[in-house]
Amino acid sequence: MNETGTRRQALNPYLPSWEYIPDGEPYVFGDRVYIYGSHDFYNGYVFCMGDYVCWSAPVDNLSDWRYEGVIYPKDADPLNKDGKMCLYAPDITIGPDGRYYLYYVLDKVCVVSVAVCDTPAGKFEFYGYVHYDDNTRLGEREGDEPQFDPGVLTRGDKTYLYTGFCSRGDRSRSGAMVTVLDSDMLTVVQAPKIVVPGCEYSKNTGFEGHEYFEAASIRMVGEKYYLVYSSVVMHELCYAVSEKPDEGFVYGGVIVSNCDLHIDSYKPADRPMAYGANNHGSIIEIGGAWYIFYHRHTNGTWYSRQGCAEKIELLPDGTIVQAEMTSCGLNGGPLAGDGEYGAYIACNLFTDTPSMYVGDDRFPKIMQDGRDGDENPGYVGNMKDSATAGFKYFDCKNVTAIAIKTRGYAEGCFEVRTRWDGEVLAKIPVQSTNVWEEFSAPLALEDGVHAIYLTYRGSGNASLLAFSLVAG
């Protein structure tokens, strides 16, 4: 059963609504999918405040995620014995010796740390720092650019380490770079070289407008290398492709945007449909299907991010079609069009005033009660007049009514649509209440796959905990 009591299905976010694991790097080891990422806190005041934890799920049941516990505490690194630095986004690879190597960067240093474990989700132990053969650490040699956001891929006895951070106006940062490591997983055998340009060095490269910003992640699709990265606009994950791991990358396109920009299937391409910000993730094949893992932002800030995933289509020529944000990413299809769903699975959040980025208190946001770690269900809060929560998609048959659970000092109604700008199919009157109460209205939908959009119209400020589709 899921958090609201309905039959178990795969939802977005794919982890419990009270868990905040952004920067997700998914891997299949054996018969399970493991997710590695940084660890935000609910109501966090900076990025990546927690220890590294791991979650996993059976490859044949992507709704059944299991908490594997803390795999690496932030004070395990000798540079961070007091725990004052944060563990930024990690990546993992299997070394030639069959062990699992975790690569990461702390938030105030420019070097790459490595931890190791015999199992994919056991207790990782500090292993060392990536260094040159004279023991100078990568990132500290004269001429080195600072290391950030490691992505790793091991092929035979060599490990390819992709790193970099490039912001607008900083010509000291060139782009995404690859460094080749020896079989000991630490020693540099090929010095860093730029493979994808940052915005200050992108002229006439084909990357203009989608230059490298951060979040390097490397995967192989067939015999080609796909470098997934966050572009300079931050909300989108792009990819570059090459037949070689250390040169020849060409721009491929956008895989996903966490505000759904560029998607024109259900709305204009230039209209944002959620409050985006930075992004980080990667692609993976599970059970013959390909997915993109990424993250969304909650609580109206940049610092409480949650992992989401969408199915993607790889065309025969290797092109990836941009994925649309949904509430049913790993489900293999639409959700059942009956029963109760938590409002935290909203994939679209907006008002009559479009906004691409988080941070404005006029707008609705995913929230929860209590403190970080409290296993309280998420909800959509701060729903003022025109605030809309959208949920996609549901396989509806014989739907006769819709119910919602709300609270807050609000007097008005929730309008129900199946398109963001479609006709109003039902109105659910709501009244001020300081506890969750249920309100309902008749709703007749044609049988088929539908989105559900709930728009608040009225005074005050409403919160939305859940909604139910009732099939007769």
113: Cα within 13 Å, side-chain hemisphere: 23
For residues 121 and 34, is the Cβ–Cβ distance under 8 A?
Answer: yes
Q: What percent of the chain has pLDDT over 90?
A: 97
Each residue's pLDDT tens digit, 147-190:
999 999 999 999 999 999 999 999 999 999 999 999 999 999 99
CATH class of 25-321: mainly beta
Residue type at position 247 = E
Catalytic residue among 3, 19, 23, 77: 23
Q: Cα angle vertex 308, ends 16, 4, to 5°? A: 35
- Measuring CA to CA, how many Å separate 257 from each of 159, 175, 468? 29, 21, 28
**How many helices and strands in the chain, by DSSP H and E?**
0, 32
Per-residue pLDDT band for 472 (boundaries 50, 70, 90) equals confident
Is 214 noted as a catalytic residue in this protein? Answer: yes
pLDDT exceeds cutoff 50 at 4: no
Which segment of 6-15, 188-197, 295-304, 321-330 scores lowest on mean pLDDT? 6-15
Burial class (CB in 10 A: 0-12, 13-18, 19+), 72: buried
Catalytic residue among 19, 77, 145, 214: 214
- Spell out the domain ranges in the chain: 25-321, 335-471
Q: What is the DSSP string of 109-124?
A: -SS-EEEEESSTTS--
Which candidate, 85, 90, 93, 87, places its Cα nearest to that of 40? 87
Judge if 25-321 and 335-471 fold alike in CATH terms. Answer: no
Per-residue pLDDT band for 405 (boundaries 50, 70, 90) equals very high
Pick one of 2.20.25.240, 3.40.50.10540, 2.60.120.260, 2.40.30.10 as the CATH number of 335-471: 2.60.120.260
Q: What percent of the chain has pLDDT over 70?
A: 99
Instruction: Say if residue 150 is preceded by a cis peptide, omega within 30 of 0.
Output: no
Each residue's pLDDT tens digit, 344-378:
999 999 999 999 999 888 999 999 999 999 999 99
